[in-house]
Structure 1
């Protein structure tokens, strides 16, 4: 509790225009980053557990999820963009000390996000039957892939509220609740998957045989377990945000949930480039899936496992990026531009250091990481190869991730979107299409490694300039 109070005291110095020492700035970055990293890791660990449990069913089951995974990321990204479009506005209002207006933006964000996510869910349901065929998946995995995406789509409004509530709490400076909720969500996912994926069976514990009931839903059970765990997490975070948050609770005043035009315009300015960026990135990932799909089930499964495993390495970067968005947003909202720049360089430096260490660990432990996810030798060999190639790109990947978090905090999203578009489509996809026919999956991951290094370089160049902070 003392740590939380100290964090709130340091954040209050930003709003009040008081000086923060360099050591105080570093402490604040670390205090916000650690719980944000835990939240991101727990969320990815949930995906890792899903992949490992489904992987025990065979390569076909894993490939069915891997086939549609890039499309689920696209929908996740759109929900994230919608949440951040309003969360960043809340951070700016908090930074300027206008807490009543921050709560008004929160209410309007809820109304807009619900409407948006329901429309998105309807689109997902409509696409679920034909998507695996469009992506070039083999006939044997299309049914499970469709079912997985259908369940995912039905729970999109819950996922949207999860992202919105978590984003609002983080932008207010509360990283603890989203972090703790993420851990409990991961635990709930394990328990639910245990009963939903597998059939009823006897489990031997020492000399005792225990009957365990199971729904035997397979791939659909993995989707349903994750969705139900997210529902529990969303309920708790929503309750905390509306009732307990010291800054944003809505119980003490009334207001409209209908978005006002001024707030909508700001949301579009922030969120539209982010949404387009996610479409660009995930569109490229879908194209990568199309490139990988002809390489066979083993390549599809290995590609999916490697992406999930790599996320354990880069999610700390996204956690630090969350802290960067909060600190940049509040200091920018307070009009303290020099402080905004200092927070930017501290967070980016920390992200590159942490992900550099994670890259070394990923290279060394790649056989063990992939081995936990699948027993299929052909898939394991390809997955290890992919992870060891990607390990070399992690520090520069961190530079792009955390820099982007800084830019989002100051509502500078259009140029980073264009940078991502050029980097991914001009560099990654061109190289992947060129190398895949002769090098197979190895060529696809070499292309990814080269592109991430290039992307990190151009983001660092923009961060070192001044144009990103002069758009208020």
Structure 2
């Protein structure tokens, strides 16, 4: 019988069955495709937010842009904790220990909810002063504080969204998280449409219609996003807890109190990742401080360009998600050569896809920025930044997917140090040197050089490093 279904091919990993090169590539593509869609849906949601807010003016765009790096910091910490448990689930499923996988899932729910509540309290506490600490001007600080407060308040829902999606992906189910992320994107559009803009008349095929609206501006963008994330979190966790064949805990006896062993393993994976995210986002915040003196146009253009570029690199993160699943389950099954093979197939696939995306981004940069804002100086600055960054995409892909490989192997400490060293030593130093002379383009040139360097060192570690020492 010809095996073409992803679940059947994953079963060959656990059962010790043979996988030829075609089947390995097929499985990698089958897991990557829905993961890419999920990642792109998340970024399209940010793109939509930025585009809708961009029509309110430069100040509204800058008020979100000034706190965006801090929101990534909190996102990264939530993701790191969810990964600490989901990688354990991948190893357990790869070894065929489904009861242990469910036990880890139950413990993860308790641990992540407690952590996200604490993080939400911290976020709400700092929201008032954060924009001023980052160098924001008086005309954007109020909206920026309000946006971040709403974001922080709903962190527990975001955490459960991340946890449910990570657990399903590591069990080999890429389709449900993908579909739910697409639904989240659609809900975000609807919520934003009614919350951001005031009541108004619009023309649809020549027919004038009165459209209701709350007119909340930046606050409406925040509320629209968190409401979409909350609905998605409920659906994601319901599917994982009730419908998932490998993870369902409904009617299955077991405790939710975390054990020392489970927490220790989660900490070994999550702490380096969380620390890395914190320090990397600290570097991004430092870059925001470098950009802030360049003016409101530069702040807005930088934020828009970052959102637009993410459309290019999110396929890499989707392939990295697939690599984490494949490597994690292969490692759990104790299959060394298969683990290495999936690692390289994933990395080369990521580099190929992101090279194509880089070419598209270079050509379409002015059009992409034109969708997001009508302010000409912002559009020109952003397009120039994107065209610089396009040259870094192949090597950026290498670092993204290789990192996903290392996470699947439970090897996060050394890769985290590599990311930190590259960001702080190369990017920050170059940005500080180039920004005064070249403006925003100098900041993005520094980013391009650093990402190429980072990709090179990750490829070297993938080839010569001891990341498979646990097998």
Residues 93-144 of structure 1 deviation map (CA, whole Å, 9 limit, x = unaligned): 0000100000000000000000000000000000100000000000000000
Partner in structure 2 of residue 171 of structure 1? 170
Kindly indicate whether the alpha-carbon contact (under 8 Å) linking 2:51 and 2:373 is maintained by their aligned counterparts in 1.
yes
Distance 1:257 1:316 in 2: 35
Q: Does 1:192 align with 2:187?
A: no
Q: Does 1:333 align with 2:326?
A: no
Distance 2:127 2:137 in 1: 15
Partner in structure 2 of residue 389 of structure 1? 388
Distance 1:447 1:383 in 2: 15
Q: Does 1:290 align with 2:250?
A: no
Distance 1:419 1:329 in 2: 21
Distance 1:229 1:256 in 2: 30
Distance 2:18 2:199 in 1: 62
Distance 1:161 1:77 in 2: 14
Q: Does 1:453 align with 2:461?
A: no
Partner in structure 1 of residue 233 of structure 2? 234
Distance 1:258 1:165, change over 3 A: same
- How far did residue 245 of structure 1 move? 0.5
Residues 226-267 of structure 1 deviation map (CA, whole Å, 9 limit, x = unaligned): 100111111111111111101101113121111100000000
Residues 53-74 of structure 1 deviation map (CA, whole Å, 9 limit, x = unaligned): 0000000000000000000000
Distance 1:108 1:164 in 2: 12
TM-score, structure 1 as length reference: 0.99
Distance 2:232 2:3 in 1: 21
Distance 1:182 1:378 in 2: 33
Q: Does 1:22 align with 2:34?
A: no
Residues 280-332 of structure 1 deviation map (CA, whole Å, 9 limit, x = unaligned): 11111000000000000000000000000000000000000000000000000
- How far did residue 5 of structure 1 move? 8.1
Kindly indicate whether the alpha-carbon contact (under 8 Å) linking 2:3 and 2:9 is maintained by their aligned counterparts in 1.
no
Q: Secondary structure in 1 aligned to 2:460?
A: helix
Partner in structure 1 of residue 126 of structure 2? 127
Distance 1:283 1:379 in 2: 25
Q: Which moved more, 1:208-217 or 1:182-191?
A: 208-217
Once the two structures are superposed, the pairs formed by residues 72-87 of structure 1 within 5 Å of their partners are: 72-87=71-86
Residues 159-212 of structure 1 deviation map (CA, whole Å, 9 limit, x = unaligned): 000000000000000000000011111110000000000001111224422111
Q: Secondary structure in 2 aligned to 1:19?
A: coil
Partner in structure 1 of residue 346 of structure 2? 347
Q: Secondary structure in 1 aligned to 2:199?
A: strand
Distance 1:4 1:21 in 2: 12
Q: Secondary structure in 1 aligned to 2:150?
A: helix
Distance 1:412 1:80 in 2: 16
Q: Secondary structure in 2 aligned to 1:214?
A: strand
List gaps (5 residues or longer) in structure 1.
Answer: none
Distance 1:418 1:243 in 2: 38
Distance 1:258 1:391 in 2: 47
- How far did residue 466 of structure 1 move? 4.2
Distance 2:61 2:235 in 1: 31
- How far did residue 437 of structure 1 move? 0.8
Q: Secondary structure in 2 aligned to 1:136?
A: coil
Partner in structure 1 of residue 48 of structure 2? 49
Q: Does 1:356 align with 2:355?
A: yes
Q: Which moved more, 1:205-214 or 1:258-267?
A: 205-214
Partner in structure 2 of residue 378 of structure 1? 377
Q: Does 1:266 align with 2:265?
A: yes
Partner in structure 2 of residue 319 of structure 1? 318
Distance 1:228 1:91 in 2: 30
Distance 1:5 1:105 in 2: 30
Q: Does 1:430 align with 2:429?
A: yes
Over 3 Å off, 4+ runs: none
Partner in structure 2 of residue 158 of structure 1? 157
Paired residue total: 470
TM-score, structure 2 as length reference: 0.99
Distance 1:104 1:5, change over 3 A: farther
- How far did residue 4 of structure 1 move? 11
Q: Does 1:222 align with 2:221?
A: yes
Distance 2:400 2:63 in 1: 29
List gaps (5 residues or longer) in structure 2.
Answer: none
Distance 1:142 1:121 in 2: 20
Partner in structure 1 of residue 251 of structure 2? 252
Distance 1:253 1:147, change over 3 A: same
Q: Secondary structure in 1 aligned to 2:208?
A: strand
Q: Secondary structure in 1 aligned to 2:5?
A: helix
Partner in structure 1 of residue 278 of structure 2? 279
